[in-house]
């Protein structure tokens, strides 16, 4: 008499081994037979030897321990538990992934471990000043942007900001920029900077590279028109681009000269990279010439370093910085 569900036996056996075994939780042949019966599959102990050999040939790392009373478990997997914990921590700490989507992703990652190991993945990562995004659509925006980049197509979208509606009891709401007019951009790259996801693309109308926060984009449409701006991205260095924009805040790029105390060399290298050119200036200082996007964010970064850094020039940028400091100081007079 033909046993039921025999064609499913190998699949259920693999599922049981992958989900319910690890080095600390092996299963005997008798236990495997019992668990298969729970799926409506009858199995003889002898046939499981052949089945597990087939799974080994397929690539499943099935280990056996013991001599007389042998037990079996899955040894190594695609991801080690330590690797999954790193991924979980990254998802938990990511500002641009909503709480709901974080929970969904972590549950999917748990399926890559045994049920016992999955319990260790329920971790709460606390990150200073982290606020999860409220825009659930970012997950799908990223996928759509990758598709446009891969297909070499332009995109259009509406760009939004958070605003407070005092007529509705100080309710936070989204409002579109440019009265709802759509932005047209050639997408070239995505980058993760300062806990936010950004699209870096070419604005043909402006004739230059621009970036946009992905969680502020909505109603993304992929055009049939081929991207433009390839010449701007042939030798594009994303790390260099990101280092010039403080908090990815826009501004005109300028070459500025800084006089820096020696103790802040690490701060400068962390910000601008190891290729930063430094020149000695006396015994306690060095000079650095760097390209930055001049913006209030840049001035705030400078101010945060206090007397350790002096902006030497250009004179016009130095004047702008002084006026920035004066305007802030007036608030406290």
Q: What is the β-pairing status of strands 196-203 and 208-213?
A: antiparallel
pLDDT score for 133: 61
CA distances from 288 to 207, 294, 309 (A): 30, 16, 10
pLDDT tens sequence across 276-333: 778 888 888 889 898 888 888 889 889 989 999 999 989 999 999 999 999 999 999 8
In the beta sheet, which residues pair with residue 310? 259
Examine the pLDDT at 215 and tell me if it is beyond 90. Answer: no
Pick the CATH number of 138-236 from 2.30.30, 2.40.128, 2.40.160, 3.90.700: 2.30.30
Please state, rounded to an integer, the average pLDDT across all residues of the chain.
85
> Among 149-153, 203-207, 261-265, 313-317, which stretch is predicted with the lowest mean pLDDT?
261-265
pLDDT tens sequence across 219-236: 999 999 999 999 999 888
What is the CATH code of the structural domain delimited by 247-330?
3.30.70.240
In the β-sheet with 253-261, what is the strand arrangement from edge to edge?
Answer: 278-281, 285-293, 253-261, 309-313
CATH architecture of residue range(s) 6-74: Orthogonal Bundle (1.10)
Domain ranges of the chain: 6-74, 81-121, 138-236, 247-330
CA distances from 131 to 94, 97, 98, 149, 191 (A): 9, 10, 9, 29, 19
For the chain, give the percent of residues with pLDDT over 90.
41
Nearest to 110 by CA among 138, 136, 76, 79: 79
As a three-state string, the secondary structure of 292-308 is: EECCHHHHHHHHHCHHH
Residue tagged 């109308």 (tokens): 205
> Angle at Cα 215 formed by Cα 210 and Cα 220, nearest 5°?
75
CA distances from 307 to 96, 285, 322 (A): 34, 12, 14
pLDDT tens sequence across 93-134: 777 777 788 888 888 998 899 998 888 776 655 444 455 665
Q: Are 273 and 238 in contact (CB under 8 A)?
A: no
Q: Are 205 and 184 in contact (CB under 8 A)?
A: yes
Q: Quick count: other Cβ atoms within 10 Å of Cβ 19?
A: 15
Q: Which tokens sit at 323?
A: 């006026």
């Amino acid at each position: 008499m033909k046993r039921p569900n025999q064609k499913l036996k190998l699949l259920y056996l693999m599922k049981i081994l992958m989900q319910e075994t690890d080095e600390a939780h092996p299963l005997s042949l008798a236990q495997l037979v019992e668990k298969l019966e729970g799926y409506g599959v009858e199995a003889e102990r002898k046939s499981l030897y052949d089945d597990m050999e087939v799974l080994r040939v397929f690539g499943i790392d099935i280990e056996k321990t013991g001599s007389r009373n042998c037990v079996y478990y899955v040894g190594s997997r695609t991801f080690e538990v330590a690797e999954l914990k790193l991924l979980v921590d990254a998802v938990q700490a990511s500002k641009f992934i909503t709480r709901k989507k974080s929970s969904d992703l972590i549950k999917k990652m748990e399926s890559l471990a045994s049920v016992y190991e999955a319990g260790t993945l329920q971790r709460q990562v606390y990150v200073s000043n982290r606020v999860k995004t409220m825009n659930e659509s970012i997950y799908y925006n990223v996928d759509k942007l990758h598709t446009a980049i891969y297909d070499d197509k332009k995109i259009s979208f509406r760009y939004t900001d958070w605003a407070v509606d005092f007529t509705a009891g100080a309710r936070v709401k989204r409002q579109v920029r440019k009265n709802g007019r759509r932005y047209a951009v050639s997408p070239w790259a995505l980058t993760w900077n300062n806990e936010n996801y950004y699209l870096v693309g070419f604005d043909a109308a402006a004739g230059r590279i621009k970036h946009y926060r992905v969680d502020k984009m909505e109603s993304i449409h992929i055009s049939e028109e081929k991207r433009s701006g390839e010449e701007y991205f042939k030798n594009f260095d994303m790390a260099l681009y990101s280092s010039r924009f403080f908090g990815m805040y826009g501004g005109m790029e300028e070459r500025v000269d800084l006089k820096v105390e020696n103790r802040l060399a690490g701060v400068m290298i962390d910000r601008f990279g190891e290729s930063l050119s430094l020149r000695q200036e006396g015994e306690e200082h060095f000079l650095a010439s760097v390209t930055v996007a001049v913006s209030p964010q840049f001035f705030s970064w400078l101010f945060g370093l206090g007397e350790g850094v002096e902006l030497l020039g250009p004179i016009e940028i130095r004047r702008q910085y002084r006026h920035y400091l004066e305007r802030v100081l007036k608030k406290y007079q």
